[in-house]
Amino acid sequence: NAGVTQTPKFRILKIGQSMTLQCTQDMNHNYMYWYRQDPGMGLKLIYYSVGAGITDKGEVPNGYNVSRSTTEDFPLRLELAAPSQTSVYFCASSYLKPPGSGANVLTFGAGSRLTVL
Amino acid sequence: GENVEQHPSTLSVQEGDSAVIKCTYSDSASNYFPWYKQELGKRPQLIIDIRSNVGEKKDQRIAVTLNKTAKHFSLHITETQPEDSAVYFCAALGNTPLVFGKGTRLSVIA
């Protein structure tokens, strides 16, 4: 069981470039999330997915896109990278039962540190 | 939507003392409250959680209390050790995905 695997671990982009952060989980979790964490700050939700084919915006979705074609994979696409997107990105997954019926323990990936220059 | 406030933002304690971190939430529908610990350069990891039908939960030196009426919950760490130094995040789950507080940087001074 690898858990949540993110690639790449580090990346430097030039302004205006595009890239995709990959995320895959092998726990058969239905929910997947992308968070960003700016230096010394908390976790802000970018996008999340409740299952294959379904995605929803979080708190800070602008400048990003996601897709969820399979249960396992949830890539995050950055179009036209900007310095404000310099951050550490965490993918996470969880198995969420119907609302109110239980816990929602998130398993995080190791993070991807992105610098936009 | 849910809003989670966390205090203090930084906390320094002497080794062996207790540390308390407090969070408030806004959505009365929230029913699950986890705490995550993030060591420097690492990913956040769950350390303890509590559901809305429980007032207190303990796990060795860590405890969490929940006051649903006042909409606040707290993390208590007793007999702090240097390895407790980290950033701690509270979170709340209701009808939306987990909403995190801004974090508390705890420093345990030997």
> pLDDT class for A77, splitting at 50, 70, 90?
very high
A103: chain B residues, CB-CB within 8 Å: 32, 34, 49, 51
Chain B, nearest residue to A95 by Cα: B97
pLDDT on residue A42? 86
Chain B, nearest residue to A50 by Cα: B97
By the CB < 8 Å criterion, does B35 face chain A?
no
B102: chain A residues, CB-CB within 8 Å: 41-42
Beta-carbon separation of A103 and B97 below 8 A: no
Distance from CA of B95 to the nearest CA of A (A): 7
Res A69 pLDDT > 80: yes
Mean pLDDT estimate for chain A: 92
How far apart are the C-alpha atoms of A71 and B68, rounded to whole Å? 35
DSSP β-bridge partners for residue B19: B77
Residue range B52-71, pLDDT digits in tens: 888 999 999 999 999 999 99
Place of tokens 């982009």: A13
Q: Are B84 and B97 in contact (CB under 8 A)?
A: no
Q: Mean pLDDT per 10-residue run, chain B (110 residues)?
A: 93 98 94 94 94 90 96 97 97 86 95
Beta-carbon separation of A104 and B93 below 8 A: yes
| Average pLDDT estimate for A73-84 | 96
How far apart are the C-alpha atoms of B4 and B99, rounded to whole Å? 7
pLDDT on residue B54? 83
Kindly state the percentage of chain A with pLDDT values over 70.
94
